[in-house]
Amino acid sequence: MLKVGLIGCGGMGDTHNKALKALSQSHEVAVVALADCRKDFLDSAKELWPEATTYSLGFDLIDSEELDAVHICLPSYLHTEHALRAMEKGMAVFIEKPVCITEKDCKRLMEAQNRTGAKIMVGQVLRFFGEYIYLKQVTDSQKYGKLQTIEMGRKGGDVLWGFEDWFHDEKKSGSVMLDLHVHDVDFLRYLLGAPSSLSVKADRLSTGLINHVRTDYRFGDIPASAEALWDVSPDLPFEAFFKATFEQGTLEFNSRGKPTLAFRPNNGDAIHPLSKKENTGRNLESPGPYYQEDKYFIDCLIENRPIEQATLEDGVEAVRLVFDEQSLVDE
């Protein structure tokens, strides 16, 4: 039985907790330890695993338990210290995105992985959404011809649910740039490699926090853009989107669309390439993306395979590109 500890039982901790529970139906895996400093969140997570040992602090869980893996679903500024401590104890580590929020921490994480050989995966979950998998496949195979241009993005309401309001503190979240925008940045790197040039526009709330970013890139001869917004109001419904123009037509995704994905050929009627089952959203059952992401991590551990998808290096390269973008934003 693969023994997993879940650290942080807030929004994403709950998502991974449910995904791991669903996975335990078919895999020899169990969450045996849970940590959250808010008792109500801890109690609610424990409902799925009544046998689990509970801790209020993530460090206590790591220090006290002998585990195969931990899931770190803490506010972003706490990822590095917990990941380092778990690696030193020989645990595999799943770290939510953004993997970390400073260059110094990128170096510390890479150094510790090289030294300990720990298996690490970063929660760059777009790589597990059916629509983005399809985009990657048709770009690589040139099914619709060569990719010409791509726009991506995600927009949502103001983020009010975080523990001690950590999202609104740039030193804790890295603003909308490291929190939301990093998803599209990672996917663009996965699709097209490192950009050859970029320019950035950002807007701030009256508090000074960046809540909107739009970056224009060139990947060789391919123009691309990515936009992310935390609206001033909490009410804006979340939407993620991309529009990829190929020689033979346009592939469009909108998470609020029904269906979410359409290919519009230059000549002819639109087609909807994925079946309803493959359109993924925040579905926690197979084949939902968070389930698939956790399944990939757990399969790699059970089958003793290297982690090749959403690696620590991928997570680090994504945040480093965002650091480059941040350096271009006016104070």
Ligand X SMILES: NC(=O)c1ccc[n+]([C@@H]2O[C@H](COP(=O)([O-])OP(=O)(O)OC[C@H]3O[C@@H](n4cnc5c(N)ncnc54)[C@H](O)[C@@H]3O)[C@@H](O)[C@H]2O)c1
The site for ligand X (CB under 6 A) is made up of 7-13, 35-38, 41, 57-58, 73-76, 78, 96-97, 123, 125, 161-163, 179
Min dist. Cβ of residue 243 to ligand X (A) = 21
Taking the least distance from each CB to ligand X, the nearer of 22 and 125 is 125
First CA to last CA distance, the chain: 51
Nearest residue (beta carbon) to ligand X: 10
Q: Among 182, 191, 185, which residue's Cα sits nearest to residue 220?
A: 191
Taking the least distance from each CB to ligand X, the nearer of 147 and 284 is 284
Taking the least distance from each CB to ligand X, the nearer of 216 and 231 is 231
Min dist. Cβ of residue 287 to ligand X (A) = 16
Min dist. Cβ of residue 248 to ligand X (A) = 32
Say which residue the tokens 């224009």 belong to. Answer: 216
Taking the least distance from each CB to ligand X, the nearer of 257 and 281 is 281
What is the DSSP secondary-structure string of 228-294? EEE-SSTTSPPEEEEEEEETTEEEEEETTSSSSEEEEESSS--B--S-GGG--TT--STT-HHHHHH
Distance CA(31)–CA(52), nearest Å, equals 7
308's CB contacts (< 8 A; 6+ apart) are: none
Taking the least distance from each CB to ligand X, the nearer of 62 and 301 is 62
284's CB contacts (< 8 A; 6+ apart) are: 15, 18, 19, 22, 290, 291
Taking the least distance from each CB to ligand X, the nearer of 97 and 119 is 97
List, edge to edge, every strand of the sheet that includes 69-72.
53-55, 29-35, 2-7, 69-72, 92-95, 120-122
| Strand blocks (E) in 36-156 | 53-55, 69-72, 92-95, 120-122, 147-156
Min dist. Cβ of residue 107 to ligand X (A) = 19
- Contact 320/103 with Cβ under 8 angstroms? yes
Distance CA(270)–CA(262), nearest Å, equals 6
Taking the least distance from each CB to ligand X, the nearer of 273 and 288 is 288
- Torsion angle defined by CA atoms of residues 278, 283, 285 and 287, in that order, rounded to the nearest 10 degrees: 20
Min dist. Cβ of residue 214 to ligand X (A) = 20
Taking the least distance from each CB to ligand X, the nearer of 76 and 245 is 76
Min dist. Cβ of residue 255 to ligand X (A) = 12
Q: What is the chain's length?
A: 331
Min dist. Cβ of residue 141 to ligand X (A) = 27
Min dist. Cβ of residue 58 to ligand X (A) = 4
Q: Among 155, 211, 157, which residue's Cα sits nearest to residue 184?
A: 155
